[in-house]
Structure 1
């Protein structure tokens, strides 16, 4: 049929000529056409299978999403921009929903070797799904590789290492890269994430990665203006440096050196202010809550709890926690029903409602109605995965403030007194409704 259509387009025959042409075709032609189509389909299937085995994603799907959809008017999954008018408010709402359906890297994701692997050793079960690990593999290739890797043998080895599915093969490749170049920062990153069995060991690897990464980053800065390849290399080296510093801050936080962790995060946010989409401020919020530096927490919220930035459970529920802190120690539902809510209590209740509106899954985990599990490496904002990730790290901060969970419980129960599910009451995105609890 494609051949017939091609003839029709090129020669534009009359209807009578086309009828004569079709009548002259023999059964052998249709057999050959069917066989050729089957052969081409088989080759495409084999290529798709090979590409998926190597890269963990569909080539056709990747091309259609990345290249074809923009050409036919597809909408990009990007966060909403500030300053929209009433005329395009509906478009912005749709764009916000698409942004909420995007999968994000968990800002507080655990270390595979030092934390996730311990769960496997004890239970014999894998804490991460194949889909989650596949997303991480794609992240690593995006963050830690670039077109100039062929110029450095160690980077060439690491480019293959990030694509390896077997953890032991990745670790072996990292050691091979270090044999070629003892200052390969990404090799140290891989060993810190996957080979180190304790946070102390991971921190040692990351310190070596930091030393190597800073040297390469300074060299890339000097080469930056030369051409587009050097620009890509600078971007990659920046990603490596930011990643290593962030993980060092998380190591310090887990080892109890919280003030040191806060300083690293603040310096990182000051040095790379354009990387706010990495959500380093969420790491900072959690560390400041551990220090009980509530004034500093409020200052961070004032900067990042903005309509122009993508919301998160960490932002919304931390804001609610600070409001609840002002009244929770003396809050009583019976007293409030007799005299009414004070201004401070109204503010706290409204903040909790706002948080529940953003992610209604969180309260069940904070109130321990649902069991916590290890958080995934990627989360869906407003989804159950984000609720698990938030509660895993922040439940202790809610418990520390007297009466905060009681106020959350009372307010959350009230917010569930609707005829329709809470997600539909709050205009929950349809792409996330499948993950809600009935």
Structure 2
């Protein structure tokens, strides 16, 4: 890394620190009903409560509240700037001025500088720039389109994001491209010259379209778990905060001693979401301090209040969260059994026992089956009757969905294919947004069973899916039905553009690892490994398919 880049990153970190300081204060300047009103505007507020599919969505809501909510003509930033005493030449003042000029738009990623940031093109306004964002630079792929808000501090030649971004797929982009001119004008000047009120309408429109297109489910890498293969643990990056809680970088803490430290179980994030929902269920906060505590919680800044369980089921669930934080397997099993003594309707306790205590697949199946039955008792028939369509957005359904996924996986592993696929189909009916990635498992099952009609139907249900699973399976189906035809070759070319790494693993030019990646990103090597692990049998069982790929694939894809 050259000196100028190092200096840029050093300045970026200084400005990020100043931004965190300002963000900590801004919720105090929001009106009392900001969350509810903004939640309604963005579609988060349903049936008297805020419903989030992920913690990232809370950041999207908070960003909109701070920048776009103007019941009296001013947003929180303008109120704070008008009354606060901030040193004129301080970084906080620089950040505040940049926030006042921040804009929400669609940004296409042209080039990526790993570990630094991304070169972007504003697809609405037409100008280009460079966004310094270390996390984004590690996960983004070239060609990605991101909806986010950026700010440009006056003393630097780069921009910074203000909050979570939402990635687009083809269907989202087509809808946005069609409706923006109709709603906001066809000329660039119509967008650039919008009033603050129209700008708020613009960002709300973009956010709603992206969320309706399930963009938030693509905001983080997808977890991958495959029966019959060992699963690697997530490890902290060298410059990440050490998961042991010391406050130091991993490389200067446990990483310096060679001690492996796994990242926290993602299920633990739900504890914070439960706290959010419990607070919001009150609907009318008793004091400004209570409201501010909530605001800081959902924005991920300041101290997050701990979830306080009240019912026996909640108390059992809290014991499970303690178990997930426990490094010793024996202790995790003990805590799971303790949770069941508190409440035998705790699905996650059975899930944990299936994961940790089962020695054979049949035993795991029995634990998962009990978890499904416990979830049905805990949720009650009304939830199953009234909530299909956004099941995962209700935190209380997630333990049940995990148990049902585990049961289906075990059934398939034990040869009960039809029963397993029926569970997968029902889970997609309950939660078509498919935050768990069930569609990939079902597609793999259908291809292994040679049920091409059902596989094609599933591909159509998620027709704008941008993953190797969809692109390469479309190519395989085209070959099965038409041989090495023009259509099959066309689908293969599309698949290669989406992920050129798949071919090398599929043809054996690269050796498959002993363990699957814990998480994958669209278009990367880990996605290729995960796809081949699940779909190699379908390709090998199709006469001539691998030879077709070998002959048809251009050399630069095979050896790049």
Task: Normalising by structure 1, report the TM-score.
Answer: 0.63
Correspondence for 2:331 among 142, 147, 169 = 169
Correspondence for 2:467 among 312, 331, 336 = 312
Alpha-carbon offset, residue 380 of structure 1: 1.4
Alpha-carbon offset, residue 364 of structure 1: 0.9
Change (3 A) 1:281 1:136: farther
Alpha-carbon offset, residue 350 of structure 1: 1.0
- Higher Cα radius of gyration: 1
Matches of 1:257 and 1:12 in 2, distance apart? 69
Matches of 1:101 and 1:304 in 2, distance apart? 17
CA contact (8 A) 1:77 1:99 kept: no
Residue 487 of structure 2: SS of its match in structure 1? Answer: helix
Runs of 5+ consecutive residues of structure 1 not aligned to the other structure: 3-8, 14-60, 62-68, 120-125, 226-230, 332-344, 418-436
**Does 1:187 find its partner at 2:327?**
no
Match of 2:527 in 1: 386
**Does 1:76 find its partner at 2:164?**
yes
CA contact (8 A) 2:234 2:518 kept: no
Match of 1:103 in 2: 221
Match of 1:241 in 2: 400
Runs of 5+ consecutive residues of structure 2 not aligned to the other structure: 1-17, 19-83, 89-134, 136-147, 152-160, 189-202, 238-260, 279-307
**Does 1:137 find its partner at 2:265?**
yes
Change (3 A) 1:74 1:10: closer
Superposed CA offset, 1:116-142 (max 9, x none): 6xx5xxxxxx84343499556024542
Match of 1:324 in 2: 479
Residue 165 of structure 2: SS of its match in structure 1? Answer: coil
Match of 2:452 in 1: 294
Match of 2:99 in 1: none
CA contact (8 A) 1:289 1:397 kept: yes
Residue 444 of structure 2: SS of its match in structure 1? Answer: helix
Change (3 A) 1:177 1:188: same
Correspondence for 2:493 among 342, 346, 353 = 353
Alpha-carbon offset, residue 220 of structure 1: 8.3
Residue 222 of structure 2: SS of its match in structure 1? Answer: strand
**Does 1:85 find its partner at 2:177?**
yes
Superposed CA offset, 1:37-60 (max 9, x none): xxxxxxxxxxxxxxxxxxxxxxxx
Matches of 1:98 and 1:185 in 2, distance apart? 26
Matches of 1:261 and 1:216 in 2, distance apart? 23
Structure with more of its chain in helix, by fraction = 1
**In the TM superposition, what are the counterparts of 1:193-212 in structure 2 within 5 Å?**
193-212=355-374
Superposed CA offset, 1:95-154 (max 9, x none): 999997841122xx136xxx56xx5xxxxxx84343499556024542897236611332
Match of 2:554 in 1: 413
CA contact (8 A) 2:316 2:346 kept: yes
Matches of 1:242 and 1:102 in 2, distance apart? 20
Match of 1:366 in 2: 506
Change (3 A) 1:253 1:98: closer
Residue 212 of structure 1: SS of its match in structure 2? Answer: helix
Alpha-carbon offset, residue 402 of structure 1: 0.5
Match of 2:536 in 1: 395
CA contact (8 A) 1:143 1:236 kept: no
Residue 401 of structure 1: SS of its match in structure 2? Answer: coil
Residue 512 of structure 2: SS of its match in structure 1? Answer: coil
Structure with more of its chain in strand, by fraction = 2
Aligned length: 318
